[in-house]
Chain A
Amino acid sequence: MTRSYSGSVWAMLTPAVALIGVFILLPMALTLWLSLQHWSTQTGFQTARFIGLDNFFEIFGPTSVGRDFKGAFLNTAIYTALSIVLILPLSVGLGLLVHQRHVAGGSVLRTVLFSTYMVPMIAVALVWSKLYSPTEGPFNQMLGWIGVGPQPWLSSPDTALVSIVFLNVWQQVGYFTVLAIAGLTQIPHSLYEAARIDGANAFQQFYAITLPLLRRTLLFSAVIAIINAVQVFEPVALITQGGPVGSTNVLTYHIRRVGIERAQGGLGSAMAVMLMLSLIVVIFALFALARRKDDE
Chain B
Amino acid sequence: MRNPQLNANGELIHLLSTEGLPREALTRILDIASSFLEVSDRDVKKVPVLRGKSVFNLFFENSTRTRTTFEIAAKRLSADVINLDVARSSTAKGETLLDTVDNLVAMHADMFVVRHSSSGAPYLIVDHLHRTGRSDVHVVNAGDGRHAHPTQGLLDMYTIRHYKKDFSNLTVAIVGDILHSRVARSDIHALNALGVGQVRAVGPQTLLPTAIEKMGVRVCNDLQEGLRDCDVVIMLRLQNERMNGALLPSAREYFKGYGLTPKTLALAKPDAIVMHPGPMNRGVEIDSEVADGPQAVILPQVTFGIAVRMAVMSILAGN
Decide if A and B are genuine partners.
Answer: no
Binding site for B on A (CB under 8 A): none
Q: Tell me the B residues contacting A by CB distance below 8 Å.
A: none
